[in-house]
A = this chain, B = another copy of it.
Amino acid sequence: MKLNIAVLPGDGIGPEIMKQALNVTQTVSDKFHHELSYQEAVVGAVAIDETGDPYPAATHALCLKSDAVLFGAIGSPKYDNDPNAKVRPEQGLLKMRKSLGLFANIRPVNTFPSLIHQSPLRAELVEGVDLMCIRELTGGMYFGRPQGRSEDGNTAYDTCIYTREEIERILHLAYKFARQRRKKVTVVDKANVIATSRLWRQIAQEIAPQYPDVETDYLFVDNAAMRLIQWPRSFDVLVTENLFGDILTDEASVITGSLGMLPSASIGLHTSLFEPIHGSYPQAAGKDIANPLAMILSVALMFEYAFELKDEGALIREAVNASMEAGIVTEDIAEGGKAYKLSEVGAWIVEYIR
C-alpha cells in the first residue's frame, strides 16, 4: 500500500518525538512492504517565527493532499501570557482543525497495569479503565462568531453555535465506535442551562433509538467531571461538544496516570490527523528526556484508522508494551528504575519491530 503522510513536528518536544515516530513508521512500512512517502511542514510557534503564520498555506496544501497527518505538539510559553498577541500558535492549530474539517477528536484512555501506581486515583478505581472520549472539534465556542470586544474594550463576547449536521455526524460516529466496544454511549452536555446543549440532547434522543443494541446515558458536564474521578470504569464511549471535550478529555487523561502514553486521532473530511495528548512540554525540549510513547502510539492509531492496517497497529502496540515490560522507559515512568533517553526508547522499539 502507498502511505502518503504529512509530518508536522510543531513546537517544544514535537521534533524529538516525531523523529522516533517516523523511524517507527518507516520500519513498520518496510516490514509490511508499504511504500512510505512523507514530507515535513511547519506549524505553531515555529511557523510564526519562520513565516508569520502559525498554519501557513504551504502546510495546509501538504496536509490536504496527504492521506494522514502526523502531528507533534503546539504551543510556546512566550505567547501564553500575552492576551493581546496578534498571532498565537494555537490559532494555527484551530485553523488546521477547521480547514481540514477534523470534526472528531478520538482519545482512547486506558490503564497500563504497570503504571497503575502512578495514577492519582486509588488503584481499585482505575484498574481496567478503558474509555474512549469523542470530542467535537470544529464547532462550538472555538469557532462561533461574533467573538471579540466592544469598542471601549471593556466588554468581551464569544458565541457558541452548533448545527444539527455537526451534532448528528459526531453522534453517529460515537455509536459506531460503541458497537465495536462495550456498547454504551454517554452524551455529556449542559442541557439544563444552554441552548446548544439542548439541541445536542434532543438530537441524541432522536438518534439513540437507531442503535437499540447500544445503551445511551446522559450526563450534565459538571456531573461528568465528578463521575470520571469517582467511577471511571462506568464510561465506555463519552461524546461531547468542543469546549466540554477539551476539559473532560484532559481530566480523563490523567486519571490512569499515563498521560505520556495516550495518543489521539482526529477524523476529518479531507484527511485525518494523529497526535499525542500531552502538549509541547517546552521545559523538556531538546533534552532528549520526554516520553515518545504517546507519539509512537499515535502512529499505531494512524495505521489502524487512516489505512485500516490492523496488524501494523498491533505490532506497534506490542513493541510499546514490550519496551515497558523490559523497563526501557523515560524518566517520567521509570519509577526508581533506570531512566532511558527519549532516543534510546525509540531505538529499542524500532529494533523490536525490525
Contact = CB atoms under 8 A, between A and B. Distances in A.
Interface of A: 75, 80-81, 83-84, 88, 90, 94, 119-122, 125, 141-142, 144, 147-149, 154-165, 190-196, 198-199, 201-202, 205, 218, 221-223, 225-226, 229-230, 243-244, 246-251, 253-255, 259
Given A221-B246, A246-B222, A156 B254 contact: no
Given A161-B155, A161-B157, A250-B222, A88 B195 contact: no
A254 B191 CA distance: 22
Given A144-B157, A159-B157, A248 B229 contact: no
Nearest to A143: B193
A199 B156 CA distance: 6
Given A83-B191, A90-B193, A230-B254, A156 B221 contact: no
B190 A243 contact: yes
A202 B155 contact: no
17 contacts: A81-B205, A83-B191, A83-B202, A121-B122, A121-B229, A141-B160, A149-B195, A149-B199, A155-B162, A156-B162, A157-B195, A221-B246, A223-B250, A226-B259, A229-B229, A230-B254, A244-B247
Given A83-B202, A202-B83, A221-B246, A230 B163 contact: no
Contacts of A226: 250-251, 253-254, 259
A268 to B, nearest CB: 19
B156 A198 contact: yes
A123 to B, nearest CB: 8
A125 B325 CA distance: 27
A224 to B, nearest CB: 8
Contacts of A147: 194-195
A158 B225 contact: no
B225 A248 contact: yes
B159 A154 contact: no
Contacts of A88: 192
A115 to B, nearest CB: 14
Contacts of A80: 191-192, 218
B163 A160 contact: no
Given A155-B162, A226-B259, 9 more contacts: A75-B192, A83-B205, A120-B122, A141-B160, A147-B194, A156-B161, A222-B249, A226-B251, A229-B251
A248 B226 CA distance: 9
Interface centre among A90, A148, A196 (most CB of B within 10 A): A196
B202 A84 contact: yes
A331 to B, nearest CB: 17
